[in-house]
Amino acid sequence: MKNIKIKITAILLCVFALPAFISCDDQGYDDYDAGETPVQAMSGEWFIDITDDATGDLLVAHALHKTYNTGTGSDETMYINDQQNGWWLGGIVNINLDDLTFSVTDEENFQDPGTTFTITEGKIMRNAATSPTGATVDSIYFKATFSYDPESVLSFSGYRRTGFVEEE
């Protein structure tokens, strides 16, 4: 019986304690560089409200959108994608890293195949918003029109996601 207890204790130590010691080992990673891309300044997750410009009506509240560059694209473009959380918006936009602006005309909408969208007045403003928990975060704003209703202009405005549970 004593041998069984010793074996179980040894197994438990290997399963639970050994990974803790190994995970602290940083050998071989001293010179690791995760790298950065210039587009990183404009990349992020955003909680965005969508309003109708003509009426001022709130159409969608707190929809999660993502802006990113896959690393295979140009430093002059980024993806914008709402993963069908907002107005079904997804495609590549042109960016200007100097002033953190973005726009595109008649871009194929991969969230709504067969349609296109146009984005104007796109801008990311550093530390220009306050999240619901009081954190100072970046702000995003742009106007969009869609090929299926080109007369309707929608305004998208929001703030960078903090990851705090209270803001989800």
What pLDDT shows up at residue 15?
58
Confidence band (pLDDT; 50, 70, 90) for 43? very high
Confidence band (pLDDT; 50, 70, 90) for 40? confident
**Side chain identity at residue 91, one-letter code:** G
The distance of Cα 59 from the centroid of its chain, to the nearest Å, equals 21
pTM score:
0.77
Percent helix, strand, coil in the chain (nearest 5)? 20, 45, 35
